[in-house]
Amino acid sequence: MAFGPARPPITEDVAEVIAKDVKEGEGHTPTSEVPLAFLRRGPDGKPLEMNSRVKTVFLGILAVLILLVVVLMVRS
């Protein structure tokens, strides 16, 4: 797919479909008044849980930092 000046113009059919999707809000939930980063609980009152991939990345970074500190302490 091309971007910028090389991209062909949007046809009227595509523009109508895009306008219809935006108007109907198809596939989207209503926007939250509170940014997700500040939410402490979900809409049903349960605490928000971290995604398993994010947990794995954080644990990996923590392990690397601990290893780095240990290696630096041993070298001194």
For the chain, what are the domain ranges? 8-75
- Under the banding of pLDDT at 50, 70 and 90, the label for residue 50 is confident
Mean pLDDT of 61-75: 96
CA 36/CA 51 separation, integer angstroms: 14
Distances (CA, A) of 70 to 11, 58, 60, 76: 61, 18, 15, 10
- Under the banding of pLDDT at 50, 70 and 90, the label for residue 33 is low
Rounded to two decimals, the pTM is: 0.41
